Amino acid sequence: MAEKDSEDVEKLLRPVINACYPGTLSALNLTVLQVLGKEAHSVLRLIFSLNALLFLSSALFVFFYTIYIWKKGLWTFAAITFILGLFGSVIATIWLIIA
């Protein structure tokens, strides 16, 4: 009986756990944005803001894909937004190193 209960709890928590991974990257982008403050270039602030939005939307797509696994479009959008967020993070990091 306890084994069934733990499986039910794990099934309920799985969407939240899966969404935490890109959600953490979104929080890291917002932290960098906060640390940079007003001194950062407006383009750099825009890149970090866009990255945070991309990772947040990826987290939402992953969350709903875990619930509705038959909706393959959610997985496609999750992958696209995640990869765009990673690409933007690389661009922002290179910008910080150069500037």
pLDDT tens per residue across all 99 residues of the chain = 566 777 877 888 888 888 999 999 999 999 988 888 877 788 889 999 999 999 999 999 999 999 998 888 999 999 999 999 999 999 999 988 887
- Give the number of other CB atoms < 10 A from CB of residue 73: 10
- Please write down the long-range contacts of 72-79, taking CB distance under 8 Å and 24 or more positions apart: 78/22
- Give the number of other CB atoms < 10 A from CB of residue 19: 21
**How many folded domains does the chain comprise?**
1
DSSP reduced 3-state for 71: coil
The pTM of the full predicted model, rounded to 2 decimals, is: 0.86
**Phi, psi dihedral angles at 68 (to 5 degrees):** -110, 75
Domain boundaries, position 21: 2-98
